[in-house]
Structure 1
Amino acid sequence: MGDELSPRRLVAVFESPVAEALLRFGLDLGFRTVLVEPDPTRLGGTPRAHGDTLVGDLAAAGLDEHTDVVLTDHHRSEIGTVLQEALERRTRWIGIVGNPRHDGPHVAALRELGVPAEQIARVHRPIGLNIGSRTGPEIAVAVLAGLIADRNGRPGGFEF
């Protein structure tokens, strides 16, 4: 392991119910949490009380090899540029929420930006444990459980 004493950072990209739950639960799980919202008009009176930091772009989020980045909305037009920036930085893990039955729009967005296939493959989707999540908090629990399992070298689920 050896990671226990390293700073753990969870960067939730895009204000959403999933992001709010990730930030709230992430604090309790020992993450330093950051919300990245490139469009300040979407904040509607935030920053909220949960979460450590609110920034407008990934450059200000302090990404490093101990950082997990989760894009919490796959419908945003910025997913390509945000993912491209995340892929250019040192991060431990990058994922985007979305229904596994549909192609992820991030693939086309990244191809359009000229991102090589091996870099696109670093973006995880679907993310989290398969627990049938539907609500923002349920999705956040599944994602955080998956991140913890991955960080600890475990498969997740009920296989031991």
Structure 2
Amino acid sequence: MASETDAACAVAHGEGAAEQETRTLVAVFASPVASFLLRYGQDLGYRPVLFDPDPSRSIDVAVKVTSVLPDLDEDTDVVVTDHHRPELGPALRDVLARPVRWVGVMGNPRHEGPHVEALRSLGVPQADIDRVHRPIGLDIGSRRPAEIAIATLAGLIADRNSRPGGFFTR
């Protein structure tokens, strides 16, 4: 039986337990995508956190919501879900000052992200600006918030596991 030698197969068949990890997923800015991202992220083993500097904003998911950036470590993935917010630069600057594993900004890959100029204007070093991924997620033609969240999470999983993402080829 394949599950006897393959731990992932055993987990998929309910014959084993998945590894317990201490991972944090921070969605920056309340948005429809953040709602799905954090909901699905929790199912994937992340500790979900919504960071929005505007305490009046929230989403419909039972997650920790904070208007102050929490402690972030090397097991933290950060996804900025709205690149139009005026707080984009300061929020990203503060994230980049932490030892996060991964940080990305959603947006159209055909244009330079507004985060680049926002960070430059705040004096953020180019090496830190270069840590910001854009575009993010797997290219699956996502259009809806749930699809964008799935593509983003799939990309995070692939990156964490040092895989390129996409379909297997024979």
- The structural deviation recorded for 1:52 is 3.0
Q: How does 1:11-160 map to 2 (within 5 A)?
A: 11-43=26-58, 48=60, 50-58=61-69, 60=70, 62-159=71-168
* Counterpart-to-counterpart distance in 2, 1:89 and 1:5: 24
Per the normalisation by structure 2, the TM-score is 0.84
Unaligned runs of 5+ in 1: none
Q: Which has the larger radius of gyration?
A: 2
Cα RMSD for the two superposed structures: 1.3
Residue identity matched to 1:143: T
- The structural deviation recorded for 1:54 is 0.8
Q: 1 or 2 for the larger relative contact order (CA 8 Å, sep ≥6)? A: 1
- The structural deviation recorded for 1:159 is 4.8
Residue identity matched to 1:30: G
SS of the residue 1:68 aligns to: strand
Q: Percent identity?
A: 62
- The structural deviation recorded for 1:137 is 0.6
Unaligned runs of 5+ in 2: 1-18
| Stretches (4+) displaced over 4 A | none
Q: Is the 1:34–1:51 Cα contact (8 Å) retained in structure 2?
A: no
- The structural deviation recorded for 1:134 is 1.1
